[in-house]
Amino acid sequence: MTSEMVVMVHGIWMKGTEMMVLRHRVAACGYPVRQFSYPSLKASPRENAEALNRFLQGLDAEVIHLVAHSLGGIVLLHLFDAFPEQKPGRVVMLGTPIRGSRVAQQMHASSWWRHLLGRSVERGLLGDAPRWRSARDLGMLAGTHSMGIGNLYTLGKLEKPNDGTVILANTCSSGIAAHQSVPYSHMGLLVARPVATAVCRFLRHGYF
């Protein structure tokens, strides 16, 4: 019997604790789950992808699925760009701005707010991350409940639909096998039970 495992990758300003509910629910679907934690501000997405590659190489499983939230998905873009020879498995991204984050672009343009992004903008949140070129199944779940830091920062002027942080259109790209919008905020994606159910379904079958 093939051994399978799920590795979760958190977003900016996080350490992985916020993915605890999602980890528990995916584990209840029958998958052993591991959390990859990385310094989202002190290292670039490329450097964090290198660390993730080392982490994955040390796991004892024949199939390794990857579930990433927000910036974590950009780390995965770098992972498959630099290290395409990974173990088989499916990939799910949650609210990842693979076409760039409008909020991050505005923050980076401001000398007052730029430091809050750290090195996440190095071929990352500004929209210049590598494109998805892997042949493996990639699914994207993107929120449409407009409540979050992005709306606060832009005073409610973030283009709709959005999840309060990331514009829905910026989660779309060629190469995505399945893209589905869900009525949750950027952080709500991590705790909504239907999202966990959709993640498990995609990991098992390749569709939401």
Residue 183's nearest CA partner among 173, 194, 197 is 194
Question: What token pair was written down for 179?
Answer: 């893209």
Q: Does position 4 have pLDDT exceeding 90, yes or no?
A: yes
139: Cβ contacts below 8 Å, ≥ 6 apart: 90, 91, 92, 93, 176, 177, 178, 179, 180, 202, 206, 207, 208
pLDDT band at residue 206 using 50, 70 and 90 as cut-offs: very high
Query: Is the pTM of the predicted complex or chain greater than 0.85?
Result: yes
In the chain, the amino acid numbered 136 is: R
Rounded-to-10 torsion of CA 97, 100, 106, 109: 140
For residue 90, what are the CA distances in angstroms to 23, 116, 157, 202, 207? 16, 32, 35, 8, 10
Per CATH, which fold does 4-205 belong to? Rossmann fold (3.40.50)
Residue 1 has what pLDDT? Answer: 59
Residue 133 has what pLDDT? Answer: 86
Sheet with 91-94, side-by-side order of all strands: 33-36, 4-9, 63-69, 91-94, 138-143, 178-182
**22-54: pLDDT as tens digits:** 999 999 999 999 999 999 999 999 999 999 999
Domain boundaries, the chain: 4-205
**116-140: pLDDT as tens digits:** 889 999 999 999 999 998 889 999 9
Residue 155 has what pLDDT? Answer: 63
Q: Does position 2 have pLDDT exceeding 80, yes or no?
A: no
Q: Which of 25-29, 83-87, 105-109, 132-136 has the lowest mean pLDDT?
A: 105-109
**153-189: pLDDT as tens digits:** 776 678 999 999 999 999 999 889 999 999 999 999 9
SS3 content of the chain, % helix, strand, coil (to 5): 35, 15, 45
Residue 191's nearest CA partner among 156, 151, 141 is 141
Average pLDDT, the chain: 94
Percent of the chain with pLDDT over 70: 97
